Amino acid sequence: MHGYANPARFLKIARPATAWCLWPGLLLILVGVIGGLAFTPPDYLQGDSARILYIHVPSAWLGMGGWSGLAAAALAQLVWRHPLAAIAGRAIAPVGAMYAFVCLVTGSIWGRPTWGTWWEWDGRLTSMLILFFLYLGYIGLASAERERQTEGRMAALFAIVGAVNLPIIHYSVQWWRTLHQGQSISIAGGSSIAPELLWPLPLTVLGFSLLFGAIVLMRMRAELATIRAEARLRRRAAE
């Protein structure tokens, strides 16, 4: 892993990888969303409102997955002092926050016809809202440490501690009485979603995941370019 810590070597891989993630991701999202909206039948209980799952489920998955990536980058920064880890963390956080926000918004829209309310202080909804605020806290802390030109250790510690919220989100539907439905897809139990409704979901999950990766790579490349430009300006000022 340390072999890719060199920014030049990382950029050599990141440039083509961005395109490999971006365009297939957008294509899969397009196919999955069109399939979900036009070629699947309405749910027998929730009708057409259930079609929002093709956006809501990937957003929820990636909102949580983004913080997992954030915690992994923080661990690499603190333990192995990986030089790109802090940059990766700062690149991941706004993207994860965006997905968490989309999850909350689509969940609220879905909840209105299903539960009869836009919001409920339900275990799953509340813990997901906390995750969104954790993202905002990390972004603010990381930005402050970046401006002070420190190593970003406080932001890394914050990311690791904040990971405690992830199992709370996952198991909230089991630990508390909740309006939110239980787990619909699992490795052991398979899927409780009808096959004619399920098939577009893997397409949008994979598509949004690839889009997530593409945006993170773009942000990392942009920050490395900024760091290089700042270093060049400092060298010129010192001459």
pLDDT tens per residue, range 196-213: 888 999 999 999 999 999
Domain ranges (residues) in the chain: 52-178+197-238
Q: What is the pLDDT of residues 19-50, one digit of tens each?
A: 999 999 999 999 999 999 999 998 877 888 88
Tell me how many degrees the CA angle 134-137-140 measures, rounded to the nearest 5.
Answer: 150
Q: What is the pLDDT of residues 5-23, one digit of tens each?
A: 677 888 899 999 999 999 9
Q: What is the pLDDT of residue 201?
A: 94
| 132 has a pLDDT exceeding 90 | yes
Tell which residue, 125, 110, 115, has the closest CA to residue 51: 110
| 186 has a pLDDT exceeding 60 | no
Mean of per-residue pLDDT scores for the chain? 88
Q: Can you tell me the distance from the alpha carbon of 101 to that of 60, in angstroms, rounded to the nearest whole number?
A: 9
Cα torsion through 27, 30, 31, 37, rounded to 10: 170
Q: What is the pLDDT of residue 171?
A: 85
Backbone φ, ψ for residue 43 (5° rounding): -65, 145
Tokens of 181: 């439905």
- The span from the first CA to the last CA of the chain, in angstroms, equals 36
Q: What is the pLDDT of residues 162-172, one digit of tens each?
A: 999 999 998 88
Handedness of CA 81, 18, 215, 166 (dihedral sign): negative
